[in-house]
Amino acid sequence: MGDGDVQGKGLRLEPGTITVLLGPNGAGKTTLLEKIAGLREPENIQVLYGTDWLWKKGSLGRWQLNEEALLQYSYCSQSPEDGLFARSVRDELDYSLRPYALSEQERAERRDVALAAVGWDSSWETRDPYLMSGGERRRAALASVFATPAAWLLLDEPTAGLDGSGHERIADHLKQLRAEGRGIVLVSHDSDWAIPLADRILLWSADGSARLCGRDELLAHPEWLEQTGMTIPNWLRIAHLLGQSGVSPEKGWNPQLAAAEWDSISGMEFQMDKRSSGAEIVGKEAIKRIAKEKMHRLAGFDPRAVWLAYLLVSTGLFFLRDWVSMLVGAVVVAGLLIAGRISLRKWQGLIVNYAIFSIVTSTIFAWGASSGGGFEWEAFAGTLFPFARTMLILLLGLAIPLVMSPLSLRRSLEQLTTFKGKTPQGIQRFILTVTLMMRFVPVLLELWGRFAKIFLARGKTRARNPVAYGRKLRDVAIPFLLALFRLGDEVALALESRGVGVNPHPTRSVRLKWRMRDYGFTIGAIVLAVGLWGFAHR
């Protein structure tokens, strides 16, 4: 297909090219790259590597990742060093090479090339990544990405944390890979570094629209950046003016040559406009509008009202006694989640695992309840019922972290427990514990999800048998635990710097105000709780 607006037309990227993906913050560039790598559900995107579809239907008719397609790319996340877990650089490189059927000589050659790409030699193979500095760990992670013989490289901010020489070294290696016929998709905020490398540029807007253009086309139409919600860099404005004055595009992309040409031009006036352009404002407003549309409706209520409503409705659910009332309770919970625009998708793993545990446990009790060894449906239903009732209460509880920030929770608890400007130290410790749990449970789930993606991107396999599950547990759990230890150290230092454990007075901030809608919200919860209790005792 040709260049231009690619919305609804599909996008074909050719081997031996570098495609740079540009867009404003929050537009979904990383999300798009993860979909291309199969690390997210494809939704409305279908990806084909050569003749291999990334997703295919399995024997049960369910969509699953195609391992042949996974071998076609090497993926670099925004923080690839977080996925390091081996005790030496060589082990890290060999782990990335393991899915490919290579001889020992081929593996050794690929290790040497990968190390040279980041400025190292074979003496670095025995180094322990966990004894390295942050920049060295980033180089080790990049070497693990460059080591594979995959036809495509998917790179998300590969130069973050590298110095100027590191930028040049990575650029030279990408050019070499392009000359070898390998395709590269690159996301980078360093536009002055990335755009000169590009054969094609994919402009990705916050609303999901996209434009594919050539590098020289962007030089002629820098306003396309503004149309995506970005600001035109000053260097691109200068290169654009040079192009209008007849300077060749190649000189415009070379900073040294561009500077010399700029100095040689006389009589040209150039003014840097520091004000936001209309297109930039439109882009920001679009992002704000999208964010507002996705905001949970409960976010506008006082956190104390949300907590009280949860306790009231949960109490009503606790009184459910039979499966008919359970059905009514399920309808109430579903209605509340829909009315509040609350999606529990991020908790789906926890919910599914809880459901499986409930069914398996109930089945075991049902088989054991019969003296003749048969299956007792009454025992199965009786055991499953409290699990199901707890599930409804759990679903409402999981919604709270999605609609209430840890800061608002802390404010509400402090205002409830403060008397004459003082809060007992025991209460303060309790509030801090609750706030940290609420703050870091989603963080831990996000960390686990990130390392699971890294395992899939590097291991190139789906966990389908006990051996694969064990390997996944090892390769995901080790970096997860190490990241958890680092996170604990950071939290301890942050709490110590804020005087936690020394200052007996709680932090003061803007006081929450109970408004009329909070009264109405609480009264509605009381009505629901009483209604559930009454229906259960009908």
Whether residues 14 and 146 share a domain: the answer is: yes
Question: pLDDT category, 282, cuts 50, 70, 90?
Answer: very low
Q: How far apart are CA 242 and CA 255, in angstroms?
A: 12
**What is the C-alpha to C-alpha distance for residues 446 and 439, in angstroms, rounded to an integer?**
12
3-state SS string for 120-179: CCHHHHHCCHHHCCHHHHHHHHHHHHHCCCCCEEEEECCCCCCCHHHHHHHHHHHHHHHH
Write the CATH number for 155. Answer: 3.40.50.300
Please compute the mean of the pLDDT values over residues 13-26 and round it to a whole number. 91
Can you tell me the distance from the alpha carbon of 441 to that of 409, in angstroms, rounded to the nearest whole number? Answer: 15
Pick the last residue of a domain from 183, 214, 245.
Answer: 214
| Residue 58 resides in a domain | yes
Q: Which of 39, 28, 1, 20 is nearest to 184 (CA)?
A: 20
- Together in a domain, 33 and 155: yes
In this model, does residue 194 exceed pLDDT 60? Answer: yes
pTM for the complete prediction? Answer: 0.62
pLDDT tens, 466-510? 666 666 666 677 777 766 666 666 666 665 665 555 554 544 445
Average pLDDT, the chain: 78
CA distance 317 to 159: 53
CB 444 within 8 A of CB 484: yes
More confident residue, 272 or 184: 184
Residue 177 lies in a domain: yes
The residue whose two tokens read 């963080």 is 443
**Among the ranges given (22-31, 206-215, 252-261), the one the predictor scored with the smallest mean pLDDT:** 252-261
Does the residue 429 lie in any domain? yes
Pair (330, 476) in one structural domain: yes
The answer to whether position 489 is within a domain reads yes
Residue 393 in any domain: the answer is no
The pLDDT assigned to 280 comes to 36
Of 428, 397, 398, nearest to 507 (Cα)? 428
Same domain, yes or no: 203 and 305? no
DSSP state of 196: G
Residue 164, pLDDT score = 83
- Whether residues 475 and 330 fall in one domain: yes
pLDDT in tens, 328-385: 999 999 998 888 778 777 777 678 778 888 888 888 888 766 666 677 888 888 889 9
Our count of domains for the chain comes to 2
For residue 332, is it within any domain? yes
Whether residue 200 sits in one domain with residue 304: no
Whether the predicted pLDDT of 293 surpasses 50: no
Q: At which of 182, 197, 214 does a domain end? A: 214
- In terms of domains, do 201 and 310 share one? no
pLDDT top residue among 257 and 363: 363
Range of the domain at 207: 4-214
Which contacts of 355-362 are long-range, i.e. CB under 8 A and separated by 24 or more positions? 355/391, 358/384, 358/387, 358/388, 358/391, 359/384, 361/387, 362/387
SS3 52: strand
Q: 117 falls in which pLDDT band (50, 70, 90)?
A: very high
421 and 512 belong to one structural domain: yes
Residue 76 lies in a domain: yes
327 within a domain of the structure (yes/no): yes
Q: Which of 214, 243, 268 is the last residue of a domain?
A: 214
Q: Is 511 exposed, middle or buried (0-12, 13-18, 19+ CB in 10 A)?
A: exposed
- 170-191: pLDDT as tens digits: 999 999 999 999 999 999 888 8
Which of 342-351, 404-413, 514-523 reaches the highest mean pLDDT? 514-523
